[in-house]
Amino acid sequence: MNLYRLLADLVVVVHFGYVVFVALGMAAIVLGIILRWQWVRNFWFRAAHFAMIAVVAMESLCGILCPLTEWEDRLRELAGEPNEPNSFISRWVHELLFVDVSPAVLAVCYCLFGLAVLLALIIAPPRWPWQNRRKQK
């Protein structure tokens, strides 16, 4: 097997993991708010979750293609495989739903999702790491 193809596939797996963490993380946060799960208020989880969607939203607003998508494309090119047009999410939406999604529509979706994450931070703020230490003493 071609090493570049293997690396490109690895980038896809990492990219997919990123998307799953953001999407399922939000679902877990909403469910955790409703069911009063304390772990969804973990500062590091919430900070990482917000930072990840904020990066995606900012990239889309600035018209920047995700570095993971660019990396995958370059590795596929080195492997001698054809490059697919569009972003990672556009490709998968097209593959799964047979619908072409413009970068502008995706940017709106990312920003709305980011606002939902921000709203969840306001409704159920994370607990600061030093708050837990005070309770233990």
Residue whose token pair is 């939406």: 93
Write the pLDDT tens digit of every residue in 21-49. Answer: 999 999 999 999 999 999 999 999 999 99
Write the pLDDT tens digit of every residue in 92-132. Answer: 766 666 677 788 998 999 999 999 999 999 999 999 887 65
**Amino acid present at 56:** V
DSSP 12-57: HHHHHHHHHHHHHHHHHHHHHHHHT-GGGGBHHHHHHHHHHHHHHH
135 versus 130: which is more confidently predicted?
130
**Amino acid present at 63:** G
pTM reported for the whole predicted model: 0.83
